Structure formats: structure tokens, C-alpha cells
Structure 1
């Protein structure tokens, strides 16, 4: 009797728990966001400027078949189409933002976000009624089937390995592509140069007169003084 009662009670409790689980509303995913301060799968640090890093991200997306649009040097957007089956279509939208790093001026942080949009082929019935005035208010329905791609899902890709492969490709292009050299923003000092003074020409030295020969000097002295031993007649 006790064993039978215990089994019946256990079955009832299991049924109540199952019913409660079915009636409980599942928690939305956005309420599960933790906003932790640790490492994020959507961000990565690079030892390069924001311009060089975004250029490497653009090359990484282009090398994998993404159609990119780059309107600014710190943002890159890309899209790629997939067709898993004939009735389904997937579009991956890639968004990249490059911001300055925290340690030095030549570092940057890259934030990425990829959204997967799903589309499915749906058939929609359209009906129209045609009124015939001859038969009074008689209407004849006309039906047609139209096929259209309808968006059925849109979700951010949470896979860490997906973004790890992207960041690895960005680092590859940073190592192989020539980077731009930053312009040094030092202050430029100017000063006025002195006006050049024209050089003054030196006056030519006066020409020296030639010295008189000694013979002329002796002749002149002999004419002034009489010769020795000669008398003058009275």
C-alpha cells in the first residue's frame, strides 16, 4: 500500500513540474546580456593607426567575397550573400568600427558585428472578384499564386571563432601591406634671415714711382761741387 502510494505521488509531482515548465514563458535573449568588462569576442587591439587597421579590415572582407562600402576612414561595412537551398537565402552584414587605442597614439581597437539575415521563399494567394452586371451581383473569385522571398530571421552571429578568424586575417594584411607614415605634428618655428650686405670694393693701391738711378744723382752732385785741387784765376 505504501509503495503504491509513493509511486502515485511521484508520478503526480513529475506531471505538475512538467506542466509548470510548459506554462513558463522563455526568457528573451536580450535579458541574458551580462555586459561584462572582460575580453570581448567583438573587439581586438592592434598596434597600428585607425586608418591602417580599417584599411586592413576592408582588404580582409574583400578577399572573402564581401561587397564593402567605406565612406569614412574609421568605418567599414560589408555584405555577402549565401544560398543554402533553393528556397532559402542568407545575407551576412558585416560592420567594422576602428577607434584609437588606449596605450599610445599608434594603436587602435577594432569592433566588429556580423548579422545573419534569413529569407525563405513563400507562396501567397491573392484573390480578386469580378462583378458581372448582366447577372446582377454575381462575383467570380480569381486566385493567383505569387512566390516571394520573405525575411524570416535576423540574428547577430555570436561565435567567437568566427571573429577570431576575421581578426587573424586583419593582422595578416597589417603585416603584409605597406602602412601610411603619420605626419609628425611638431611646432614649426620661423625666423627672419638677415639682409645680405653688398661687399665693398677696396681702393687700388697707388702706383710707386720708379727710383732715380744712382748715376744721375752723382752727376747732379758733381755739377754743384767743384773738383778738388783746381784753383780759380784772379
Structure 2
């Protein structure tokens, strides 16, 4: 049988335990990170180059309505807006990084991360008073509503089927995307061309005009005159 003292002590201890449980602060999620060395749920290996894999990732996001930006061949960023209700708004930011694989030159590793940002409509009333001189110090309040979307949350989407479906879509586009083919560097042989032979045409020697006239006169004198008979 418990005495009044023991009952009071037990009640006090129970109250202290309840108070301690209520005052316990939950551990933040970032302190629960394990940083394990095993396979990462945010990464996947592909048998393709980093350029081809990132191009497939870009097409995968575009096919699902994401607005993508690709300023580099190894990085893809995309955003998509959602409107669950009239007073809430959600923006999903998708980040993709492609790095070379560890086994061969034509392999790559894709790291993905998606952040879900939540926005809510915040309504605020602003009031102003107008003094009326006719009525003395009487003032009338004038209210106006000012609505704005305020960011209320931001959290990385946890690993699961969300990323598995994305990786599966990337693999699908890798089968259909035109892969880049490196230019084969063949050995180039060089050789000297033979020197061109200069062809010269002999220039005819001009005959002096007086000599030409003498030759004509001599030929005319050697021929017999017209009507003359030649002795046998």
C-alpha cells in the first residue's frame, strides 16, 4: 500500500518525465545524414559518354514539361511549376551533373538532385485614415488588400521511385538519341611534289630585209624571159 509521500513522489517524477519529453527538441534531418560509401540512390551508371548522357537527360526533362537550361555539356538544370490549390504554389528544381565513368572512356555517371519549393498566398491588410475637416477630428479607416506569394518551404525530394523513373527515361532516350562519333585520326603521309619543268619555245631569227630582197632578185634573174626559147 502506497503512502501519501510515495504517491506524491511518483506523481512528481511522472510530471518531470512528461515535461522532459515535451521539451525534447527533434533532431534536424541534416544531422541524420549517414554519408555511406555504398551505391548512391541519387546516381546511376550509363554506358555512354557524358555528352550523350546529358543530352538524353535534357530530353527526358523536356518530355515531362520541364523548362531546361544547358549552358555546359555536362550539366542540365530544369524547373517545373505546380498549382495544387488556389493558395499554394510548388516549384520543382531539377539538377543533373554528368561525370566520366570509372571503368571505360565511353561510360558516365549521372548525379541528380530535385528540390521542392513551396509557396503560399499571404494576404495582408493595410489601413489608412482620412481626416475630414468638416466633421472635426473624425477620421474614416480605408483598408486595401495586398496579396503576395511567400516561400514557406524548401526540401530535397527524397530518393525513391521519383529518381528511378527519371533514370529509366534517360536510358530510353539514350537508345534513340543520335550519339556523337569521334573523328578517327588517320595517319597523314606527306611527300614533296616534283619541281615543274620550264618549257622554252625557240624564238625565230629575223631575216634582214635587204638580204631578202637580194634573194628575190636572184631567183627572178635565173628564170627565162617570157616567150624565149631554151636551147637544147
Per the shorter chain, which TM-score range?
0.7 to 0.9
Give the match's secondary structure for 2:90: strand
Instruction: State the 1:134 CA deviation.
Output: 6.8
Give the match's secondary structure for 1:59: helix
Alignment of 1:59-208 (within 5 A): 59-131=59-131, 140-184=140-184, 186=185, 188-195=187-194
Give the match's secondary structure for 1:179: coil
With the length of structure 2 as denominator, give the TM-score of the two structures. Answer: 0.74
| CA distance in 1 between partners of 2:176 and 2:68 (Å) | 20
With the length of structure 1 as denominator, give the TM-score of the two structures. Answer: 0.73
Mapped pair 1:36 → 2:36: yes
Cα gap change, 1:4 to 1:130, in 2 (>3 Å): same
Mapped pair 1:21 → 2:21: yes
Larger radius of gyration: 1
| CA distance in 2 between partners of 1:123 and 1:13 (Å) | 46
Count of aligned pairs: 197
| CA distance in 2 between partners of 1:110 and 1:7 (Å) | 64
Tell me if the contact between 2:42 and 2:159 (Cα under 8 Å) persists in the aligned partners: no
Instruction: State the 1:52 CA deviation.
Output: 0.5
| CA distance in 1 between partners of 2:29 and 2:146 (Å) | 34
Root mean square deviation of aligned Cα = 2.7
Structure 2 unaligned blocks of 5 or more: 198-232
| CA distance in 2 between partners of 1:61 and 1:85 (Å) | 24
Cα gap change, 1:64 to 1:138, in 2 (>3 Å): same
Instruction: State the 1:146 CA deviation.
Output: 2.0
Cα gap change, 1:100 to 1:127, in 2 (>3 Å): same
Cα gap change, 1:193 to 1:87, in 2 (>3 Å): same
